[in-house]
Chain A
Amino acid sequence: MSVKIEVIEGGIPHQKILIAGLVLAVIGLYLSYLNVLLGTQMFAFFGGLAAIAALVWGSHSIKILASYGIGTGVPSAGMIAFGSGVIAFLFATKFGVLAPIVAIILAAIIGAILGYLANEVLSMHIPVMIKSLTEMAVVGALTLMGFSAMISGSFTFSALTSTPTSVIGKLLAMFLGSPNAATTSFSLYIGGALIATVFLLGAIAIQHGFNACLGPGWKQDRMLMLTAECGFLSMIVAAVMSAALINPAAAILSFIIGLVGWYYTYMKYIELSKRDAASWLDAKPIPEVVEGH
């Protein structure tokens, strides 16, 4: 069961990616907090960049975990990262400016408990299980927090649950489907479940890098570039959704940064795929393969 089948050779060591991802994500989150300090919303895009840093780190953690022969469960790793991360994230938002730190600590505890259960109670006995699940819960919490800050302007609980009454008219009563909806306080991000979309955006983005690049010809730089591409792609659509919550200028700025980053990483990824592919053919038949497999 716990036989390591794929060894990472060369490339950046995991420890470096871990530290870089963690530090960049926290810095990005605090830069998005400038919104609160300066009373603007223009710095929302830093949340998206923080999420991308966390995603890149997370995809490498998945690679480490999946090296132990659970290759078919790559997408489920993304789900557990965000499933455990969302608890820590929601709880941490109550702590105002300390939210990112609280989210990291809480997510690490939740991840460690899940890892312990998987290893000891379910008897999986995978050496990196506890460490990887801890990392992935932190990644999930930080990514959710990053996209939340980007879409709603801040990662604090009050911002995530406040109602932008200026844009919402009678329509809301209809959406909530209850006659009292107009009088109850209503939040677009959590109550309106935009967080459900963000949950899956992150969960698919974190696993896609490794899930798409796995195989004998796996290369670290190609996988990490792909994860960054998924992150920027998620940022583009998150920016579109953010237009409902923050002012248009900030949303457009996020959108442009997402678009530029996506185009750059997508082109880079195609370049790297070209480098690694056996051959790059356009409308050619199946090549003759030497028999003898």
Chain B
Amino acid sequence: MVDIVFSIGITALAGALATVAGAAEDVESDIGSQGDPNSQVQLAPQMGYIHRIYNKAIAGEPPAWGLWIALGAGIAWAFMVMQLNPILAIVLGAGLATFVQGVYSTTAYLGRTASLSKFGQPVYIDIIKSMTTVTMAHAFVAIFATVTICYLMNAALGHPFPLPLLGLVWGIALGAAGSATGNPYYGKERQYQTQNFGAGVPISASGNIVRYAEAGERNSLDNGFFTAKLGGPASGVCFGLIVFLELWRTVLFENVGAGWGAIIVGVIIILIFTVMDRFIEVWARKNYGPYTKPTEETSS
């Protein structure tokens, strides 16, 4: 009984950490325009829209985050094997992984922007200076929280995988959660705020992303501020639920039917979510419907 209570406590802690990690990951990638919204940032100068948005295309988010987390976990683990205190080891691992993330970000921005010289897109050094550090700060939070989750699974819940392998698996999951949940909010809402709601993005509007602010010019820090309100927390809830439900079903039902209990509960959870998603989709379609031309008001 004590075992179950302890494990559920760890599960709750891991879920909370995952929520923080997911939120930080999404804001990081939105400030850097990583993931699918990147295509429009990359396209904009080619359509004549020179911008001051940070364009750090390192890879899709899942592989990139797979590396940051696996690297943080690998280094932390190497330090733990050298008899370093686990908390200190995780901090050092996350710190070094953040350094690698920062260097990759700068080279990605420089490379992409220099290759767009034909269209007159300048390299803004102040963007590198001010935005790389902000993405690194968010990345540190996400890496530290996720490596800690992996450590908790390994050391407290007795997961058989070693730390770097857990880091790889959960890093890819973290990147996928942020990419799937938070990015649409940045890519489809923020970048095309000037378009009519529900109008979609016609070809003629491709690359015409929001570049000017209420006063002055938009930069990626504004995008981080914008997405921190809904996109980031939504990604956090997504990744938090993934981690929490995954551990919860394992902790409670692993001993039912020689492990099959946990698998069956997992399938049931997926089915419940599928039904929920279907209801939300139908509800949204009914309420917002397809885009229709505004009916002309007859002036009387």
In Å, the complex CA distance between A215 and B157 comes to 47
Known: A167-B82, A204-B67, A277-B117. A283 touches B160 (CB 8 A): no
Cβ of A273 and Cβ of B96 under 8 Å apart? Answer: no
Task: Give the chain A neighbours of B79 by CB distance below 8 A.
Answer: 244
- Asked if B12 lies at the interface with its beta carbon under 8 angstroms from chain A, I say no
Cβ of B123 and Cβ of A277 under 8 Å apart? Answer: yes
- Asked if B107 lies at the interface with its beta carbon under 8 angstroms from chain A, I say yes
- Asked if B52 lies at the interface with its beta carbon under 8 angstroms from chain A, I say yes
Known: A197-B70, A226-B107. A218 touches B78 (CB 8 A): no
Nearest chain B CB to A212 CB, angstrom units = 3
Cβ of A237 and Cβ of B114 under 8 Å apart? Answer: no
Task: Give the chain B neighbours of A293 by CB distance below 8 A.
Answer: 47-48
Cβ of B64 and Cβ of A244 under 8 Å apart? Answer: no
Using a CB–CB cutoff of 8 Å, the interface residues on chain B facing chain A are 42, 46-48, 50-52, 57-60, 63-64, 66-67, 70-71, 73-75, 77-83, 96-97, 100, 103-104, 107-108, 110-126, 154-155, 157-165, 167-168, 211, 216-217
B73's closest neighbor in chain A, by CB?
A197
In Å, the complex CA distance between A289 and B121 comes to 10
B47's closest neighbor in chain A, by CB?
A293
Cβ of B58 and Cβ of A208 under 8 Å apart? Answer: yes
In Å, the complex CA distance between A197 and B163 comes to 10
A151's closest neighbor in chain B, by CB?
B78
Cβ of A244 and Cβ of B123 under 8 Å apart? Answer: no
Task: Give the chain A neighbours of B97 by CB distance below 8 A.
Answer: 237
Cβ of A168 and Cβ of B115 under 8 Å apart? Answer: no
SS of B interface (majority): helix
Known: A169-B83, A280-B122, A293-B48. A212 touches B108 (CB 8 A): yes
Please tell me which one of the listed residues B111, B118, B124, B155 contacts residue A226 in the complex, with CB atoms under 8 A apart.
Answer: B111
Using a CB–CB cutoff of 8 Å, the interface residues on chain A facing chain B are 74-75, 78-79, 167-169, 171-172, 174-178, 188, 191-194, 196-201, 203-204, 207-208, 211-219, 222-223, 226, 229-230, 233, 237, 240-244, 266, 269-270, 272-274, 276-287, 289, 291, 293
In Å, the complex CA distance between A75 and B3 comes to 43
Task: Give the chain B neighbours of A226 by CB distance below 8 A.
Answer: 107, 111
B130's closest neighbor in chain A, by CB?
A283
Cβ of A269 and Cβ of B107 under 8 Å apart? Answer: yes
Task: Give the chain A neighbours of B111 by CB distance below 8 A.
Answer: 212-213, 222-223, 226, 273
A191's closest neighbor in chain B, by CB?
B162
Cβ of B70 and Cβ of A196 under 8 Å apart? Answer: yes
Task: Give the chain B neighbours of A282 by CB distance below 8 A.
Answer: 124-126
Task: Give the chain A neighbours of B115 by CB distance below 8 A.
Answer: 213-219, 276
Please tell me which one of the listed residues B110, B162, B163 contacts residue A269 in the complex, with CB atoms under 8 A apart.
Answer: B110
Known: A167-B81, A280-B125, A289-B120. A197 touches B114 (CB 8 A): no
In Å, the complex CA distance between A289 and B45 comes to 10
Known: A207-B59, A240-B75, A276-B117. A284 touches B83 (CB 8 A): no
Task: Give the chain B neighbours of A191 by CB distance below 8 A.
Answer: 162
Cβ of A279 and Cβ of B123 under 8 Å apart? Answer: yes
Task: Give the chain A neighbours of B161 by CB distance below 8 A.
Answer: 193
Cβ of B125 and Cβ of A200 under 8 Å apart? Answer: no
In Å, the complex CA distance between A226 and B42 comes to 19
A214's closest neighbor in chain B, by CB?
B115
In Å, the complex CA distance between A276 and B113 comes to 9
In Å, the complex CA distance between A291 and B213 comes to 21
